[in-house]
Amino acid sequence: MAAKEAHNSKLISSDLKTGNIPTWCKAMGTTAYRVSFSGLSQNYIVGLVDMVGSTKISSKLKTREWGLYYEIFLNTMAALLQRFDGCVIKNVGDGLLYYFPESFNYKNTNAFSKCFE
């Protein structure tokens, strides 16, 4: 097993140096999906809103009530974010991970004020 892992590590290392579609990726037949990093970087305001105590509260609810409880919270938060030009990245359990797309420009004071409203 260790020899195979060492071989795979060498393949990955050589593919990273050449920038080609990785040999191991071709072997797996996964060339259609390829993550690529452009080297560009942007700064954004990112946030996470979470329901404090939701596990304890939801444990006392019936299934339908539990679903409605989370649905109301997550949809209300998403609507608030949209109102201030924020975008939901992902639902994270009982919370939302979000960012403000216009916050990349630090000179855009209007975008920053929306983040804090």
Residues of the chain with CATH 3.30.70.1230: 45-116
Q: What is the pLDDT of residues 57-107, one digit of tens each?
A: 888 888 888 888 888 888 999 899 888 888 899 988 888 999 888 888 878
The tokens for 69 are 């409880």
Residue 24 in 3-state DSSP? helix
Give the mean pLDDT of the chain: 75
CA-nearest of 104, 70, 66 to 85 is: 104
Measured distance CA(39)–CA(46) in Å, rounded: 20
CA-nearest of 38, 72, 42 to 54 is: 72
The tokens for 49 are 């809103």
Torsion region of 19: left, alpha or beta (phi above 0 gives left; psi -120 to 50 gives alpha):
left
- pLDDT at 97 (0 to 100): 92
Task: Please tell me whether the overall predicted TM-score, pTM, comes out greater than 0.85 for this model.
Answer: no
Class of the 45-116 domain?
A: alpha beta
